Amino acid sequence: MREIVVSGIGIISSIGNNIDETYASLLEKRSGIGKIEILDTLRRDEFLLGEIKLSHEQLIDFAEVDSAKAWTRTALLGIVAAKQAIKDSGIEAKNCSLISASTVGGMDRSELYFKDFLTEAKHKSYIDSHHAGNSTEMIAGQTGIKGLITTISTACSSSLNSIIFGCDLIKSGKAKTVIAGGTDSLSKFTLNGFNTLMIHDRELCRPFDESRRGLNLGEGAAYLVLEEKSAAIAAGRKIYALVAGYANANDAHHQTASSGDGKGPFMAMKNAIEMAGIKPKDINYINVHGTGTENNDLTESIALKRLFGEKIPDFSSTKAYTGHTLGAAGAIESAISILALDKSVAFPNINFKSPIKETRLIPVTEAKKLKKAEHILTNSFGFGGNDSSIVFSALKKKTSGANKPKLLENPVFINGSGCVSPQNTLNNNYLHDNILEHDRNFLQIVKPNYRDFIDIKVLRRMSKIVRMGMVSSATALQEAAIEIPDAIMTATGMGCQNDTEIFLSSIIDDKEGLLAPTSFIRSTHNTVSGAIALAQQNHSCNLTFVHRTFSFESALLNSMMMLNNNKAKNILLGGFDEITEVSWLIKTKIEFFKTDPINNLQLFDDKQKGALAGEGSSFFVLSNEENDKSYAKILGVSMFFRPENNEEIKHKVLAFLNQYSMKAKDVDLVIMGFNGDQEFDDIYRNIEKDLFAETSRANYKHLCGEYDTSAAFATWLAAGILKENKIPEAIIREKTDKDSICNILVYNQFRGINHSLILLEKV
């Protein structure tokens, strides 16, 4: 297999604004956790945080960006770390891909201006920056990155998963160089959220200590430059480490708490070590997840003993230095782990006094010179039971000289699907009749009878978007005759919007007073995927992508890579988003959505600015082999960011088709994402005029509305057309006289910024 190395590191946290300052703080046992000075919270005197002691204005200067633009703290931290990584490596950024991670996105600005967004919207320039993908796009814009970009959000394991995905992209030949990591800033939302769970310590956190009472939150960002070893050597770059092994697993126990037997953490560590081709005894040091909470540290201790027996390597948690930096933690601690490898040192687990009585494990408490530093393991575990581990190894002096594998992009087969939408699509009715007409501000799903799919005991605790995902995923699995898939890949632009709005409003209205934890727990982007895994008791790989109209396409790409590399035989793939009165109202302030009610079947004649908002959930069971359930196959998927003009878009479309030995005239049907926004619908008009004037063309957003993962609905529709060899009259824009439909191209874009292509073919 292709060997991936780290050739650049960038990091900023409460213990240092770069890698050298970070290393010095670790050796000197200098924690960055202290009294709150930057975050504007009414709880200033109650808690300790790992703050970066730069105000918003100072951080703008430090990041060297245009002060006139609307920046979130999350984006600024990411820009600082990414620039450092690029400079450290000496790569040319424009040729790189960027895989970033975040849990809070632009919450640091949203919580300041949320009420204003609902009224006068004086600060409307910050509305779109709430999106988790915004920071990724800001980083790309400030560094000149032109390759594939996307964002992952799997709670506290997010950025470790971004590194894993980045490695897989290179191994699959989808990227040559990847900048991977994550960024998160402190916010009142997370501070109060973790306080409602009663796991935020009011004193300095004490990971793996018997007296531990919770975590201290922190903020920061870190990015690694990943590239193939041979390319790094040829370029003469410094190679910090080999990314030798990695794995993601799911605990499938509880949305926030980890299991008593540590199955998820155990599987993540075990599988990462096996991928590295080594034994547990070969690990020289472990940077553990170690949050300082009672549940997490006990579970991780149990998992360590289960895997390593009585010969547990030196280990420590560095969260007592930085605080828990949430989505950035995996990347920050990867940088620290690489430092441990590079300097042959195990860093102290500060504040430790007494071992946990159940396991009696004692971490390293002073900086310790490692006798051998060949293999370092780092862990990141998150809400939804999402657990990830990576093994970083020292580069061997003699390389293996193994031949590069022949890169294949085989099609994947759709063996089942399920769709909940504003139409009667639940029973895979492919819209040949009974098209629903709506006169309203936004389109909402046709509500299923949830009791037919979900146990009544748990149904009442589920939010709407979770119910949507549970129903559509169950339908897909049933059609494919699969009970438990080998992996779960999900996508959402905004996640559980309703729960986020409820908790955010409560913080403001109740002045950070008595708050209920339920909405906070459900506000994470990977809530749906975690709920599905929990219901299935599915411990396999489980990722959630959250980058606007790249969300579903990124999850699809990862699914195809896993199936092509035989990491799975079947995968449950889904895309889902919900619309609320609040989210619709806020987005009308920046003309993303139409203000006045509209008949959805007259959408394309409407002259209002913006799109018709909608929602939906579409799931698929994908397989790497055709079987008697297969009715369509996906040949490929492509994404491109900020094309300069229509000519570049045209070139990208033709280049994509050329990969499959096709020209524009060979496409039987193009399904395009016209959404009624006259300004941006012109992009589709230009493409159909230049490339597809003689091709059958279709619309779909008048049926489902505009939302980040609407391409999943279009893919569901395309699969149904191939299955039945019939185009629904309700979607036809222009039809040729071809007798059969053998292939379909789905083309979607977001306001001229994010463009995606999905190519399907009849089985």
Q: How many CB atoms lie within 10 A of CB 566?
A: 8
pLDDT in tens, 551-575: 999 999 999 999 999 999 999 999 9
* DSSP secondary structure letter of residue 122: T
Residue 707 bridge partners (DSSP): none
What letter represents residue 7's amino acid?
S
**Distances, alpha carbon 92 to alpha carbons 77, 136, 223, 237, in Å:** 21, 18, 15, 13
DSSP 630-697: --EEEEEEEEEE--SSHHHHHHHHHHHHHTTT--GGG-SEEEE---S-HHHHHHHHHHHHHT-TTSEE
- Average of pLDDT values for 638-643? 96
**Max CA distance (Å), the chain:** 78
pLDDT in tens, 433-475: 889 999 999 999 999 999 999 988 888 889 999 999 999 999 9
Q: Is 206 helix (H, G, I), strand (E, B) or coil?
A: coil
- Average of pLDDT values for 513-536? 91
pLDDT-derived band at 400 (thresholds 50, 70, 90) equals very low
pLDDT over 90 for what percent of the chain?
Answer: 91
Determine phi and psi for 410, rounding to 5 degrees.
Answer: -80, 150
Residues 701, 137: Cα–Cα separation, whole Å: 25
- Tell me the residue ranges of DSSP E strands in 569-651: 570-577, 598-599, 616-623, 632-641
Residues 479, 631: Cα–Cα separation, whole Å: 11
Residues 82, 100: Cα–Cα separation, whole Å: 10
Which residues are tagged catalytic? 156, 289, 324
pLDDT-derived band at 533 (thresholds 50, 70, 90) equals very high
- Predicted local distance difference test score (pLDDT) of residue 401: 39
Q: How many CB atoms lie within 10 A of CB 512?
A: 16
Residues 212, 294: Cα–Cα separation, whole Å: 6
pLDDT in tens, 509-520: 999 987 989 899
pLDDT-derived band at 200 (thresholds 50, 70, 90) equals very high
- Average of pLDDT values for 676-687? 96
Q: Considering Cα of 162, then 163, then 167, then 170, what sign does the dihedral take? A: positive
User: What is the reported pTM?
Assistant: 0.96
- Average of pLDDT values for 738-753? 95
Of the candidates 499, 508, 507, the residue with the CA atom closest to the CA atom of residue 526: 499
pLDDT in tens, 370-379: 999 999 999 9
Torsion of CA 711, 715, 721, 722, to 10 degrees: 150
- Predicted local distance difference test score (pLDDT) of residue 1: 65
Return the residue matching tokens 């006094």.
353
Q: Considering Cα of 468, then 462, then 574, then 567, what sign does the dihedral take? A: negative
Q: Which of 153-167, 251-265, 270-284 has the lowest mean pLDDT?
A: 251-265
- Predicted local distance difference test score (pLDDT) of residue 405: 47
- Predicted local distance difference test score (pLDDT) of residue 399: 43
Structure token digits, residue 488: 């779960």
Helix runs in 428-540, H state only: 456-459, 464-480, 497-509, 518-522, 527-536
Of the candidates 676, 722, 682, the residue with the CA atom closest to the CA atom of residue 701: 676
Q: Which residues of 725-741 are buried (b: 16+ CB within 10 A; e: fewer)?
A: eebbebbebeeeeeeeb
- The total number of residues shown for the chain amounts to 763
Q: Are the beta carbons of 491 and 544 closer than 8 angstroms?
A: yes
- Predicted local distance difference test score (pLDDT) of residue 461: 83
- Predicted local distance difference test score (pLDDT) of residue 408: 61
pLDDT-derived band at 403 (thresholds 50, 70, 90) equals very low
**Going from the N-terminus, what domains does the chain have, and what CATH number goes with each?**
4-393 (3.40.47.10), 412-495+546-762 (3.40.47.10)
pLDDT at 407 over 60: no
| Summary mean pLDDT of the chain | 95
pLDDT in tens, 221-236: 999 999 999 999 999 9
pLDDT at 398 over 50: no
Determine phi and psi for 33, rounding to 5 degrees.
Answer: -90, 130
